[in-house]
Structure 1
Amino acid sequence: MAEIKEYKNLINGEWKESKEQITIYSPIDNKEIGKVQAMTHKEIDDAMAAAKAAMKAWREVPIVERAKVLYKAAELLEKRKDEIGEILAEEVAKNLKSAVSEVVRTADLIRYTAEEGIRVHGEVMKGDTFEAASKNKLAIIRREPMGVVLAIAPFNYPINLSASKIAPALIGGNVVIFKPPTQGAISGLLLTQVFEEAGLPKGVLNSVTGKGSVIGDYLIAHPDVNFINFTGSTEVGEKIGEVSGMKPILLELGGKDAAIVLEDADLEKAASEIVAGAFSYSGQRCTAIKRVLVEEKVADKLAEILEKKVNSLSVGDPFDNAEITPLISNKAADFVEELIDDAVNKGAKVINHPKREGNLIWPGVFDNVTLDMRIAWEEPFGPVLPIIRVKDENEAIEINNKSEYGLQAAIFTKDTTRALEIADKLEVGTVHMNNKTQRGPDNFPFLGIKKSGVGVQGIRYSIESMTKLKSVVINI
């Protein structure tokens, strides 16, 4: 048996191990693929101290020099796309093509962050634009780093959603404590390695690993943390809000993104986008389409097209580039099965039957879903799609807005004016017209309202979120 590799944490420029380790198993076949460190509170204190000590010097590094480090990191990451992509695929059961694509996309994100960081600047404001008595006042408004940024990433995009926190924080002059997901930690530590090799000074980026139940609250409440950037479940996000106190936060949480299909829609296109949006990475995405709200006149036809397209999805091994792959854990699969059983028991019509083998669940579509079913409201994070029939667009809007979530929605119609009118009424952060819900492009603003998040991401917006304004007023 091949020796299981142990991955250490980067603390103050050195790769260090802890007394205890956590074994990482692949969701594909439960094979051991590596060990990461189970850090103690004392070790976290050491990482925080290293970050604080590095903060003053890093913030004084000219932004063009910070950008050079990011450019180098992007170059190194792209060179290792196949190696890191393969580990990512094994660690989180993402198909290999998508895993490699995530690495390449992340390299592009880091490059763009370097470019955008140079363009993010302050302003000068004259007082006499407000009142005559202030005509001799001049405000110089500049952006300064927050300080120590705690970046907490999720399992589903352990490279991209880590770099989307780390790179904007660094270009803004912050230092970073990076907590990768436990399942996804190896990928996150390889990303950390890339940033270190790109020339980051010691202490500017420090990684911390361990079970969230052991170190999570300690990290969040740590007095040395100045800003928290988290992607994950709404449950954990709400806890961060409670535990963090007055610390500023940026949260990307859950969603129940709806695809609203009107009777004049191109149903073939709508179905293609819905299937891609609902079942990419087995539905384990906050922006996955998680319910279809379709006008009754075209519901039968849409269901028929969806059935055929879902039946054509490949199911199996990520290294065979299957479209539907094992879920991240048996616990995740159990939850999806609960939602399926509840829907079937309450009368939902099974269009595509989602059989299960371990944590691998075949894609399922359910028609005639009613509002008393859990699947109409809860986020499955798995390959299941409910169809809810509505009499008109107003009912669709009403159902969409009753959700506790408010991340994204999609509208399918040939009437652009009508789509814009509906978009104006939807309580979500982003509306897509005739396209699936999705995170990118990475330079667009990305946000959720209600229980879907706090604050705005997207490269420029993330930089602005992780910097603060300081105004110096001069009397001239």
Structure 2
Amino acid sequence: MFTNLCCKNKIYKNLYNGHWIESNSNKLIEIFSPVDGSLLGKVQAMTTEEVDMTIKNTKEAFISWKETSLSDRTEILYKAADLLDENSEEMATLMMMEISKDKKSCVSEVVRTADLLRFTADTAKTMQGEALVGDSFPGGSKSKMSFVSREPLGTVLAIAPFNYPVNLSASKIGPAIVAGNTVVLKPPTQGSLSALYLAEIFNKAGLPAGVLNTVTGRGSEIGDYLATHPGINFINFTGSTEVGQHIASLSKMIPLLLELGGKDAAIVLEDANLETAATNIINGAYSYSGQRCTAVKRIITFDSVADKLIPLLKEKIENLKVGNPDEEGVVITPLIDNKSADYVEGLIKDAKDSGATLITGGTRKGNTIYPTLFDNVTTDMRLAWEEPFGPVLPLIRVSSIDEAIEIANKSEYGLQSSVFTQDIDKAFYIAKKLEVGTVQVNNKTERGPDHFPFLGVKSSGMGTQGIKYSIESMSRPKAIVLNLK
């Protein structure tokens, strides 16, 4: 299937009006594998004139797409989901080589995305609007009735991240198009091949020409142009806080849905099941080498807990398999690029130099950072506050629950936190005080299931995702009031 996207010399095209076309810019971006350095392909660096053409095409397609029946829209999502299942192995292999995620997780991402699209179609069928009678409000009239439906916004700009190029592209595209919008997909540079494959899935599923177009190029060159384009009616972005804040500063009156960074804390109380806590913390902190916004990025606990928890963590960390993502059972793989590895290595060095206790790890081979655990991290160290986006975990010791809450809330981020305890009252006490979008009780921080609300506060995001919430975000209510007298 992927051959439609590619021409000679591994040059990949862009989807425009239902066809795969080449750019006139004559500029190409080479995509190398972080696994072995091999050249996977070249994507086009589109010009601003081509961006104009692409957006204009979505505006033309919107005229008929918004009038398309919900039944026809959902049928396309069901077909796309089936195609994802049929091509999961091929997509997963490409993704594995492109973003250095282990093969099992890549397959899981594709299958999960198929489920997301089916659930999106199912959910949309239940969101048909409502009828309100006037006399249900004090002093209202029986002669008035309001019919409230949902209307699409227009053209949605979907900007996806490298770490989930299929799932976090589809979680934007699916709700947008089922609501009647058209979409311009800006894939991540690293991850663009996987995202373009997804676009072809929608194309093959029968999505009408122009409803989904793709734009490739470096965000530094066309990102601002896209974000400020008068033809864009909504921006749905997942990525770094720095870029998200920049987009927000540019967008003016364009509504936004932003999923940004995190510094998710795992607070472990004295009555916690430490085996459960250790297993969840390890899975949360180190899967995909910690390159997840919802990764556990710090442990906050008491001396009595830390002394028992650290040996459990150390043993589990040292049993994690390090290697290339095509090896069975590998958890720790090379980071996405040299810049990322340099940054994580810098955080490790600062923690060592600042007096933190290195429990295990702390070494680098190429772009692979070995899973690392620090104890006795203090609040004057960078690792206590900065998001590593790598397999490095600090443990911060506190003397009280309120101190743990205070340190957790001092972060600029507010995505998720975990609380490990057998005391439900303490769990709710802490959960209510934490300044985050979601609190996980006795589980790792994580996204999903995909119909749950997913949001961040402070520098972790704006707006609420999750299938129903995403559809609502990318549509608006419209009221028609019937006056019977």
Instruction: Using structure 1 for the length normalisation, give the TM-score.
Output: 0.98
Q: Which one of the candidate residues 120, 123, 127 is aligned to 1:116? A: 123
Instruction: Indicate whether 1:386 and 2:394 are aligned.
Output: yes
Q: What residue is the counterpart of 2:16 in the other structure?
A: 11
Q: What residue is the counterpart of 1:412 in the other structure?
A: 420
SS across alignment from 2:449: coil
Structure 1 position 341, deviation (Å): 0.9
Cα distance in 1, alignment partners of residues 272 and 138 from structure 2: 53
1:376-418 deviation per Cα after TM superposition (whole angstroms, max 9, x unaligned): 0010000000000111211111111111110000000111121
Q: What residue is the counterpart of 1:202 in the other structure?
A: 209
Cα distance in 2, alignment partners of residues 313 and 456 from structure 1: 34
Instruction: Indicate whether 1:355 and 2:363 are aligned.
Output: yes
Cα distance in 1, alignment partners of residues 243 and 68 from structure 2: 35
| Pairs within 5 Å for 1:59-208 | 59-132=66-139, 134-208=141-215
Structure 1 position 126, deviation (Å): 1.9
SS across alignment from 1:414: coil
Instruction: Indicate whether 1:335 and 2:343 are aligned.
Output: yes
Whether the aligned pair in 2 keeps the contact of 1:4 and 1:33 (CA below 8 Å) is no
Q: Which one of the candidate residues 414, 420, 435 is aligned to 2:443? A: 435
Q: What residue is the counterpart of 1:397 in the other structure?
A: 405
Q: Which one of the candidate residues 452, 462, 468 is aligned to 1:454? A: 462
Cα distance in 1, alignment partners of residues 238 and 189 from structure 2: 14
Structure 1 position 358, deviation (Å): 1.6
Cα distance in 2, alignment partners of residues 352 and 334 from structure 1: 19
The 10-residue stretch of structure 1 (326-335 or 134-143) with the greater mean CA deviation from structure 2: 134-143
Q: Which one of the candidate residues 372, 378, 382 is aligned to 2:380? A: 372
Structure 1 position 134, deviation (Å): 4.0
Cα distance in 1, alignment partners of residues 442 and 415 from structure 2: 17
Cα distance in 1, alignment partners of residues 357 and 289 from structure 2: 21
1:60-81 deviation per Cα after TM superposition (whole angstroms, max 9, x unaligned): 1110110000000010111000
Instruction: Indicate whether 1:226 and 2:233 are aligned.
Output: yes
Cα distance in 1, alignment partners of residues 339 and 454 from structure 2: 29
Cα distance in 2, alignment partners of residues 80 and 14 from structure 1: 20
Letter in 1 for 2:247: I
Whether the aligned pair in 2 keeps the contact of 1:153 and 1:180 (CA below 8 Å) is yes
Letter in 1 for 2:434: L
**Structure 2 alignment gaps of length 5 or more:** 1-7
Instruction: Indicate whether 1:277 and 2:289 are aligned.
Output: no
Letter in 1 for 2:209: K
Cα distance in 2, alignment partners of residues 135 and 291 from structure 1: 57
Structure 1 position 472, deviation (Å): 1.5
Cα distance in 1, alignment partners of residues 235 and 140 from structure 2: 40
Q: What residue is the counterpart of 2:4 in the other structure?
A: none
1:83-123 deviation per Cα after TM superposition (whole angstroms, max 9, x unaligned): 01000000000011111111111111111111111111211
SS across alignment from 1:23: strand
Q: What residue is the counterpart of 1:261 in the other structure?
A: 268
Q: What residue is the counterpart of 1:310 in the other structure?
A: 317
Letter in 2 for 1:466: M
Letter in 2 for 1:472: I
**Structure 1 alignment gaps of length 5 or more:** none
Structure 1 position 56, deviation (Å): 1.3
| Pairs within 5 Å for 1:210-221 | 210-221=217-228
SS across alignment from 1:144: strand
Q: What residue is the counterpart of 1:323 in the other structure?
A: 331
Letter in 2 for 1:8: K
The 10-residue stretch of structure 1 (119-128 or 67-76) with the greater mean CA deviation from structure 2: 119-128
1:166-215 deviation per Cα after TM superposition (whole angstroms, max 9, x unaligned): 00001100000000100000000000000000001100000000000111
Letter in 1 for 2:321: S
SS across alignment from 1:119: coil
Structure 1 position 128, deviation (Å): 2.1
Same amino acid, percent of matched pairs: 59
Structure 1 position 340, deviation (Å): 0.8
Instruction: Using structure 2 for the length normalisation, give the TM-score.
Output: 0.97
Whether the aligned pair in 2 keeps the contact of 1:92 and 1:184 (CA below 8 Å) is yes
The 10-residue stretch of structure 1 (336-345 or 192-201) with the greater mean CA deviation from structure 2: 336-345
SS across alignment from 1:195: helix
Query: Which runs of structure 1 show a deviation greater than 6 angstroms over 4 or more consecutive aligned residues?
Result: none
Structure 1 position 353, deviation (Å): 2.2
1:280-330 deviation per Cα after TM superposition (whole angstroms, max 9, x unaligned): 100000000000001221111101111111000000100004100000011
1:210-232 deviation per Cα after TM superposition (whole angstroms, max 9, x unaligned): 00011100000000000000000
Cα distance in 2, alignment partners of residues 263 and 207 from structure 1: 51
The 10-residue stretch of structure 1 (4-13 or 320-329) with the greater mean CA deviation from structure 2: 4-13
Letter in 2 for 1:313: L
The 10-residue stretch of structure 1 (431-440 or 115-124) with the greater mean CA deviation from structure 2: 115-124
Q: Which one of the candidate residues 8, 24, 31 is aligned to 2:38? A: 31
Cα distance in 2, alignment partners of residues 217 and 57 from structure 1: 29
Instruction: Indicate whether 1:236 and 2:249 are aligned.
Output: no
Cα distance in 1, alignment partners of residues 199 and 451 from structure 2: 22
Structure 1 position 443, deviation (Å): 0.9
1:350-386 deviation per Cα after TM superposition (whole angstroms, max 9, x unaligned): 0012210121110000000000001000100000000
